[in-house]
Amino acid sequence: MAAVNKRLLQPGERIRVLVVDDSVVIRRLVTHALEQDPLLEVVGVASNGAIALQKIPQLNPDVLTLDIEMPEMNGLETLRRVRREHPQVRNIMFSTLTDRGAATTLEALTLGADDYVAKASNEGSLDRSMARLQEELIPKIKQFFHIASPTRVAAAMPAWQCATDQSIQKPRPKVIAIGVSTGGPTALGMILPLIPAGFPLPVLVVQHMPPMFTKLLAERLHSSCKLPVREASEGEPVEAGTILIARGDFHMRVAAKSGAARVCLDQSPPQNSCRPAVDALFTSIGEVYGGAAIAVILTGMGQDGLRGAGVLKAQGATVLVQDEASSVVWGMPGAVANAGLADSVLPLDRVVPEILRRTGRS
């Protein structure tokens, strides 16, 4: 899926949202949650995809929130039509935390959905549901836009940046660690199948996703990759030629036990509002492998991976970053690149060739 560049919002301009859901209660809940934010404007609602498609030319929305299960025209068919007829519109899917919901959401992401919000089947009180929507959905809508500001204040350089020694000789890599968020399933589906059979290093992946989603993602990738792919399990060895996906709602770290690197899963507090967190994996990689690693930051919202990339870079590791043009959201990779930590900033299709070159496999 080609990336859609962020749109710049001028002062006073609001993000226009069309809410598409067959439930009157959900439409009202989402509308009320979004309208609490002064930057967002719900310009309309629709009870199914067919009605939404009629309203898009009239309302000119920037973003659609799309339920998956709807009568007459469901979310997937609507998504196909919107991507074809209105490619500038961003699409965020509403998914249930079930195996079926996760599988359908992954299909939606491969069809071009920009992101998703997982909704529990029983979310409790109205107030809790409202708070959860505001916490999860609003940032996911805003991530696709730049907000114009009269003055821009330069961010302070992280303290560890000053300690990075560019003269450190890079050791031969022993592990590949990948961090990714928004746009990740599509990006991983494009690059991991390019890793050849017999690749001599382990590959560890943190994709920001909830439980069930990561298991299905691993199964989907396993069917298309030349290396075995599976969701990581507690205590399993980190083996060459294997791709391990972090389990949803668990940090994945590596630890040296009995002379071998093994997976450690834990539910310690989220880092950067994420669990699993890229920083948790990267910092543990530094503890076990030192600089003998290649860290890769792909498309995603926020700054998860920035601190861990700094830790690894200071030890001599190689840091590769996806470029802005091929990223769905250039938050995570942009943070690392702007901090001066990237050895290379690459289009998505050049990431694996660069890994192979740096591991002597090109």
User: 208 catalytic, yes or no?
Assistant: yes
User: 181 catalytic, yes or no?
Assistant: yes
Beta strands 229-231 and 243-245: pairing type? Answer: parallel
Residue 267: Cβ within 10 Å count: 10
Question: Which one is catalytic: 181, 284, 326, 327?
Answer: 181
Q: Which residue bears the tokens 């309309």? A: 44
Residue 25 burial (C-beta neighbours within 10 Å; 0-12, 13-18, 19+): exposed
Length of the chain: 362
Q: Which residue bears the tokens 């996911």? A: 140
Q: What is the DSSP letter of 275?
A: S
Residue 8 burial (C-beta neighbours within 10 Å; 0-12, 13-18, 19+): exposed
CA angle 208/350/237 to nearest 5° reads 50
Question: Which one is catalytic: 62, 304, 323, 327?
Answer: 304
Cis, peptide link before residue 276, omega less than 30° from 0? yes
Question: Which one is catalytic: 67, 208, 251, 323?
Answer: 208
Q: What is the DSSP letter of 214?
A: H
Gap between the Cα atoms of 200 and 222, Å rounded? 17
User: 304 catalytic, yes or no?
Assistant: yes
Residues forming the active site? 181, 208, 304
